[in-house]
Structure formats: C-alpha cells, structure tokens
Amino acid sequence: DAGVIQSPRHEVTEMGQEVTLRCKPISGHDYLFWYRQTMMRGLELLIYFNNNVPIDDSGMPEDRFSAKMPNASFSTLKIQPSEPRDSAVYFCASSPGMAGELFFGEGSRLTVL
Amino acid sequence: GENVEQHPSTLSVQEGDSAVIKCTYSDSASNYFPWYKQELGKRPQLIIDIRSNVGEKKDQRIAVTLNKTAKHFSLHITETQPEDSAVYFCAAREGDTDKLIFGTGTRLQVFP
C-alpha cells in the first residue's frame, strides 16, 4: 500500500480564495482524521470520520471550514474563504480501528497571503 | 474534553546521554497513550504506545512509563544518537472516543 496520500503538497493562495485539500486513506482503514499543525498550537484535531460518517467536528475552527468523505477512499477539507491565519500544515491520517496507530500522510502546507 | 500538556518544549543532550519527555493529561477515562516522532519536514510516525493496564513498556532504547493515579506518562530514550533528533509528540485518547489529543511537542536535539 502506498500509505495515506494527500494533495496538494504545497498550496499558496490569496486571502479570500477557496482552498480544497484532498486525502486518500489506506485501503481498509475505517477511521480518517484531519489535523492542523502550527508552531504555536502543535497538532490540533479538526474532525474525524468513522466508516465515512463524521463523528466529531468540534475542532473545526469556524464555519469557513468543512470536510466531507463521500466514500471510503476519499476525503476533502475545504476552507472558504481562506484567511492568513489558516496558514499551517494540514495532515490527514487513517487508522484501522479504535485506539489503533494513526498513519499520517505527508501533509499539505498551506500558505494564505 | 482531554487536555495534554508536554514538557519540555526543547531538549538538548549529548550523544550517549538519556532524554526524558513528560506529559500530563486531564481525562481520567483516557486509556491509550502513544508517542509519535516527527523528523524535520516529515510526517509524524508512531514509535511506542502504552495502554492503561500497563505501567511500563520498553522497545530497545525507548521506554514509556505511565502513572494513572497522577495522570502522567513519560518517554525515556537511552544512549541517544544524532538520528534521534526530531520533534516528539505525546498523545492521549479521550475517554471512550476515538479522538487522539496531542501534546504541543518536544524538539529534541542530540549533539555528537
């Protein structure tokens, strides 16, 4: 398996633009997590899915953020409109089960100017 | 919800010395505590984990201890090597949920 695949690896955009980050989890993993990493706040959990269903989105910072998982092999995290304070590395991770190891993707580095 | 605090934020040691990183958690129902290592520009990767029915776990040069009464757990790295240099994150699973809450990370530098 190629592991968790994220795209794009780098995104530079201007304030107000829509940003869509994509994730393909490891086949057979039932859980998918979206984390945001910044120097100040470390790794923050934004939202997670179990069997494609959003379970907890309490970490999503604002209504500007939304996430979907239309099927077991694809998830998106969307920011609309983007702001400079959204600049961070966004990681997607998948896991085979409860309290299982998280397998992280390479991350998407977002810069909002 | 769960809150995880991690100390120190940075740690510098000489090659061959030991390194200890400490974390505390708030949710007494938490029962799973993994540690992740993130090398510069790379993804976090699991290095060791411990569950609440165990007080200590070792894997070669790394070990983790857990004190459920005090709600703290620690990572111990012995005989450190330059390739141990990375950011280390502790985490705790919140109660009976699947949420893994991370500490803010410790940047470890091992000098040759």
Q: Which among B44, B98, B101 is the nearest to A98, CB-wise? A: B98
pLDDT tens-digit profile of B42-78? Answer: 999 999 999 988 889 999 999 999 999 999 999 999 9
Sequence-ordered alpha helix ranges (H) in B3-109 = none
pLDDT tens-digit profile of A27-48? Answer: 999 999 999 999 888 999 999 9
CB of B76 within 8 A of CB of B20?
yes
| Nearest C-alpha in A relative to B94 | A99
Strands A65-71, A74-79: pairing is: antiparallel
The predicted pLDDT at position B52 comes to 82
pLDDT tens-digit profile of A61-111? Answer: 889 999 999 999 999 999 999 999 999 999 999 999 877 899 999 999 999
Nearest CA of chain B to the CA of A2: how many Å?
Answer: 14
Residue A75 tokens read as 């998830």
Residue A84 tokens read as 């400079």
B31, A99: Cβ pair inside 8 Å?
yes
Query: B100 contacts in A (CB within 8 Å)?
Result: 33, 45, 102
The predicted pLDDT at position A1 comes to 65
B99, A106: Cβ pair inside 8 Å?
no
The C-alpha atoms of residue A26 and residue A4 are separated, in whole angstroms, by: 5
pLDDT tens-digit profile of B73-95? Answer: 999 999 999 999 999 999 999 88
Query: A56 contacts in B (CB within 8 Å)?
Result: 97, 99
Nearest CA of chain A to the CA of B47: how many Å?
Answer: 10
B98, A31: Cβ pair inside 8 Å?
yes
The C-alpha atoms of residue A76 and residue B36 are separated, in whole angstroms, by: 24
